[in-house]
Amino acid sequence: MVVSYTHDVANAYQNALAQYDRAVRKMNLDENIAEYMRWPRREFTVNFPVRRDDGRIEMFTGYRVHHNTVLGPSKGGIRYSTAVTLDEVRALAMWMTWKCALVNLPYGGAKGGVIVEPKGMSQAELERLTRRYTSELIPLISPQMDIPAPDMGTGPQTMAWIMDTYSMTVGYSVPAIVTGKPINIGGSLGRNEATGRGVIICMIEALKRQGLANKPMKIAIQGFGNVGSNAALYAYELGFTVIAVSDVNGGIYNENGLDIPAVLQHYKTNRKLENFPGADNISNEELLVLPCDVLLPSAMENQITERNAGQVKAKMIVEGANGPTTTEADDILNERGVLIIPDILANAGGVIVSYFEWVQDIQSFFWDVEEVYRQLQRILVKAYDNTAAMAEKHKVDMRTAAQMTAIQRVADALNTRGFYP
């Protein structure tokens, strides 16, 4: 088969396909099923106008890809970034398929994106862009078909606009159309913190298995958005030493640990991490190779590559972001004995609590936060156990084991359903 690549070596879709092929080679899969699961089911591209505040009309391009819907409606975030490409959205949609299957949610995988720099727009412009993009997506989304959520550059307010636009179009309120909404319109308690919290839950599971659960740990975190900042705060609250954090403009470092609540306050006030009292300013490149025990790449894909994998000092990498490590870097790190807890496991906390939100919206019955955290912990630890058992059984790394577990679940369901017609 031929898949066209529109980008260079650091193409996330090539990475997703290479990971898939690597896992499939270790499995005993029917080749028709393996070929089917390699392809995105639907790909949607839309070019649409947005009125800027000065009256100009500007054209934007957006995507939504449904990768696989064998296990249920597709689920996946919407990203606003100038780096969005169709290949990136395809990769992220494919990873969502495996992530949902790995943690046993009744969902397929999807992803969306708009090529835009959200920080370069006013709130009113962002609202118009979101509402127009949503109205273009109407034939593709519904609580039974495809349920969007936040990703890089989007958040609860974006989800509120999507929910309102969809609801206005169909004529009644449909909270279950998106997850990651504000609490007062049907969002779930604990959703905002879920991904970062899940990253730390997975890190602790890994440390336990290495007999390091109660040892002091130095953690470096790339990305200080939803995932990175919540992971940093939860790790800090649990008594871990967070020595470095960064955002797109660079990071800060103190080998003795950062006071994360104070860093959050500094970031809120100054809108940058730079010049935090008592810390050194560092670049993202420096952060990734700092002396530390655990590295949490929690910003975006293709950050650990063959160029820097040899210099990573951490003994463990827990992937808060999707696709932060390329296949070439995986090989180098595996060779060096660095344990990688893969994205589809490590950052699955977000989609798990998104699933809880969808269930709560459909039932119109809302849980308290303790119940959300209890169920999140239960599902993630079980997925970790299953992945570790698969890795042990087949003598493969955790990424391959996670992919194998997920691919097998989708393959089994496809086998049961059969190929239509």
Minimum Å gap between C-beta 310 and ligand NAD is 20
69 binding ligand NAD? (CB under 6 A): no
Q: Token pair of 219, please?
A: 């953690």
Q: Token pair of 143, please?
A: 């609580």
Minimum Å gap between C-beta 222 and ligand NAD is 6
Alpha-carbon distance of 335 to 310, in angstroms, equals 10
Minimum Å gap between C-beta 284 and ligand NAD is 5
In one-letter notation, the amino acid at residue 259 is D
> Comparing C-alpha atoms, which of 180, 268, 254, 190 is closest to residue 224?
268
Binding window for ligand NAD (CB under 6 A); candidates: 3-11, 22-30, 166-174, 220-228:
220-228
What single string gives the DSSP state of each residue in 84-151?
--HHHHHHHHHHHHHHHHHTT-S-EEEEEEEE--GGGS-HHHHHHHHHHHHHHHGGG-BTTTEEEEE-
Residue keyed to tokens 């209890």: 374
> Comparing C-alpha atoms, which of 345, 343, 292 is closest to residue 320?
343
225 binding ligand NAD? (CB under 6 A): yes
Residue keyed to tokens 């609250």: 237
Distance of CA 97 to the CA centre of its chain: 12
Q: By Cβ distance, which residue is nearest to ligand NAD? A: 225
**Taking CB under 6 A as the criterion, which residues in 245-264 touch ligand NAD?**
247-248
226 binding ligand NAD? (CB under 6 A): yes
Handedness of CA 107, 96, 413, 194 (dihedral sign): negative
227 binding ligand NAD? (CB under 6 A): yes
Q: Which helix (H) or strand (E) holds 282?
A: strand 280-282
How many residues contact ligand NAD, by CB under 6 A? Answer: 23
Closer of 163 and 414 to ligand NAD (Cβ) = 163
Closer of 296 and 396 to ligand NAD (Cβ) = 296
Q: Is 215 a catalytic residue?
A: no
Alpha-carbon distance of 179 to 138, in angstroms, equals 16
**Taking CB under 6 A as the criterion, which residues in 146-175 touch ligand NAD?**
150-153
Candidates 74, 298, 326, 360; binder of ligand NAD (CB under 6 A) is 298
Closer of 153 and 175 to ligand NAD (Cβ) = 153
> Comparing C-alpha atoms, which of 419, 379, 324 is closest to residue 194?
379
Closer of 40 and 153 to ligand NAD (Cβ) = 153
93 binding ligand NAD? (CB under 6 A): no
Closer of 152 and 414 to ligand NAD (Cβ) = 152
Which residue out of 26, 75, 99, 111 is catalytically annotated? 111
299 binding ligand NAD? (CB under 6 A): yes
Backbone angles phi, psi at 416, to 5 degrees: -70, -45
Kindly write out the interface string for residues 301-330 of this chain, putting x where it contacts ligand NAD by CB under 6 A and - elsewhere.
-------------------xxx--------
Closer of 186 and 320 to ligand NAD (Cβ) = 320
By annotation, the residues acting in catalysis are 111
Q: Which residues bind ligand NAD (CB under 6 A)?
A: 150-153, 195, 222-228, 247-248, 284, 298-300, 320-322, 347, 350
